[in-house]
Amino acid sequence: MSEDKKPDYYEILQISQNAEPDTIGRVFRLFAQRFHPDNQETGDATKFRLIHEAYSVLNDPVQRARYDIRYQQQRQERWRLVSNSPTADNNFDMEASTRLTVLEVLYTQRRLEPGTSGVYQAELETLTGRTREHLEFTIWYLTQKGLLQRNDSSRLNITADGVDYLEKHYQEAPKRLTEKRQPVHA
């Protein structure tokens, strides 16, 4: 992974940026046990390596200080891009489209892999092409409406109400677009 595109170690360990070293250790041990390749039920070598890498950096005070500097710079850069966007002012159509996209991703995940449903927020960023800052409001809104929820491992899952909402609005979206294109006759 390039130096500029370091993964979000706080997100990987699902901890606050202010987490104490003992909290980091406890969370690491929990995830290491869950994702260790020797675990027959939930082992995942790729996730285990990411978790170990995150722990190695965040557990070492010098490495963590260096990482935190880069982390804050990346966050500030992302916010600058969001706030300076020409469409930053309440683009309601874009938000509605993002909601449908998020629900569509979660719906597809649920249908393809019902036993391991759910998507981490970092995966959702990649799949939707939206930054965390853009997705935070969307996820908050969809959660408050009961259209998605987080499971015990912090994965986002679509709810039955979310499926109904997606089916209803997904079919209406093309109608709204064609209605907007039709000229208004006086």
pLDDT digits (tens, 9 = 90+) for 160-169: 999 998 888 8
In a domain, 140, yes or no: yes
pLDDT at 57 over 80: yes
The verdict on 137 and 174 lying in the same domain is yes
* pTM score above 0.75: no
In a domain, 26, yes or no: yes
The verdict on 106 and 176 lying in the same domain is yes
Domain CATH for 74: 1.10.287.110
The verdict on 96 and 173 lying in the same domain is yes
Pick the last residue of a domain from 32, 64, 83: 83
Mean pLDDT of the chain: 79
The verdict on 73 and 98 lying in the same domain is no
The most confident of the ranges 58-62, 75-79, 98-102 is: 58-62
Domain CATH for 159: 1.10.10.10
What is the rounded distance in angstroms from the CA atom of residue 13 to the CA atom of residue 43? 16
In a domain, 186, yes or no: no
Q: How many domains does the chain have?
A: 2
CA neighbor of 118 nearest in space, from 66, 156, 72: 156
The verdict on 76 and 103 lying in the same domain is no
What is the average per-residue pLDDT within 98-123?
A: 83
pLDDT at 181 over 50: no
The percent of residues above 90 in pLDDT, for the chain, comes to: 22
The confidence band for 41, taking pLDDT boundaries of 50, 70 and 90, is confident
Does the CA dihedral 42-48-50-54 come out positive or negative?
positive
Tell me the pLDDT tens digit for each residue of 111-141: 887 777 688 888 888 777 777 878 888 999 9
The verdict on 172 and 149 lying in the same domain is yes
The confidence band for 80, taking pLDDT boundaries of 50, 70 and 90, is low
The verdict on 79 and 118 lying in the same domain is no
The range of the structural domain enclosing residue 169 comes to 92-180
The confidence band for 171, taking pLDDT boundaries of 50, 70 and 90, is low
The verdict on 123 and 79 lying in the same domain is no
What is the average per-residue pLDDT within 18-29?
A: 89
Extended strands (E) in 84-160? 148-150, 156-158
Residue the block writes with tokens 């490495």: 63
In a domain, 4, yes or no: no
In a domain, 2, yes or no: no
Element (H, E) at 81: helix 61-83
What is the rounded distance in angstroms from the CA atom of residue 162 to the CA atom of residue 157? 9
